[in-house]
Copies of this chain bind each other. A is one copy, B any other.
Amino acid sequence: MTGTLYLVPNLLGAVPPASVLPVRTIEVAQKLDHWLVETPKPARAFLKTIGSARPIAEIAIHALSGSSSDAQWALATLRGGHDVGLLSDAGCPGVADPGAVIVAAAHAARIHVVPLVGPSAVLLALMAAGMNGQRFTFHGYLPVKPEARATMLRTLEQHSRIDGSTELFIETPYRNVAMLDALARTLQPSTRVCIAADLTLDTETIECMPAEEWRREDHSRFDRRPVIFLLQASK
């Protein structure tokens, strides 16, 4: 009997698991003793927080290396009859995070894949921004160099104006302030810009206003926090 590949969302920070994970997600994760994880240390912290059924030292934890050995390990374990949990360092595996190649390999091998419910910063930000949720694009990271970044921001704004779409992206946290400065400086005054920081944490901050208002704001309060950026141009 082949095992099932469970896609297990991780917490977005130090919060009680019950605040962001359904009981079913916690119960499934407590019983899994084979894991494929982005990084072992936060994975062990997660297993401790949710209260694994087994001592953590007895749980098989394979770190994703980016090589084909990841899928080989997963498929061999699943074919050996064991369920496997796929876990990233924060949020949902495979969404703005590694893990998709493992899921693709499981489908190719006709292995049962079950996504569990939990927090995703991208999804929570989209809900919370009040922008178009019928049409949206997530772009991952934008170019770092100022000129290429400004060009990309204008391209996204133009795309949003034509399609009415929401454009989402992320940035390395120590560059948040530079990104927000660029957004305020580069975009049309009426383009709405939303910053969703520390989602699900006690320090959660979600601020949405036109670019022209961001120009008058001090951006340093977003320095080094996990943030999702969103924009929507006016028609």
Residue numbers of A with Cβ under 8 A of B are 7, 16, 18-24, 92-97, 99-107, 113-115, 117-120, 122-140, 165, 192, 194, 199-200, 204, 206-209
CB-contact partner of A130 in B97, B103, B114, B124, under 8 A: B103
Are A130's CB and B100's CB within 8 A?
Answer: yes
Nearest to A98 among chain B residues (CB) is B133
Are B118's CB and A117's CB within 8 A?
Answer: yes
- Taking the nearest CB of chain B, how far is it from the CB of A156, in angstroms? 12
Are A97's CB and B133's CB within 8 A?
Answer: yes
Are B115's CB and A117's CB within 8 A?
Answer: no
Residues of chain B within 8 A (CB-CB) of A133 are 94-97, 99-100
Residues of chain B within 8 A (CB-CB) of A92 are 123, 127
How many copies of this chain does the complex contain? Answer: 2
Are A128's CB and B104's CB within 8 A?
Answer: no
Nearest to A138 among chain B residues (CB) is B136
Residues of chain B within 8 A (CB-CB) of A117 are 19-21, 117-119, 124, 200
Are B127's CB and A94's CB within 8 A?
Answer: yes
Are B118's CB and A124's CB within 8 A?
Answer: no
Q: Determine the distance from Cα of A223 to Cα of B146 in the docked complex, in whole angstroms.
A: 49
Going nearest first, the 8 A-B pairs with the smallest beta carbon separation are: A103-B130, A104-B130, A19-B24, A18-B23, A107-B208, A134-B140, A115-B128, A115-B127
CB-contact partner of A19 in B22, B118, B200, under 8 A: B22
Given contacts A119-B117, A208-B104, contact A130 B94 (CB under 8 A): yes
Are B21's CB and A115's CB within 8 A?
Answer: no
Given contacts A7-B127, A117-B200, contact A100 B140 (CB under 8 A): no
Q: Determine the distance from Cα of A11 to Cα of B16 in the docked complex, in whole angstroms.
A: 22
- Taking the nearest CB of chain B, how far is it from the CB of A106, in angstroms? 7
Nearest to A169 among chain B residues (CB) is B135
- Taking the nearest CB of chain B, how far is it from the CB of A144, in angstroms? 16
Residue in A16, A101, A133, A136 with the greatest tally of chain B CB atoms within 10 Å:
A133
Are B106's CB and A130's CB within 8 A?
Answer: yes
Given contacts A100-B132, A128-B115, contact A209 B107 (CB under 8 A): yes
- Taking the nearest CB of chain B, how far is it from the CB of A50, in angstroms? 12
Residues of chain B within 8 A (CB-CB) of A137 are 135-138, 165
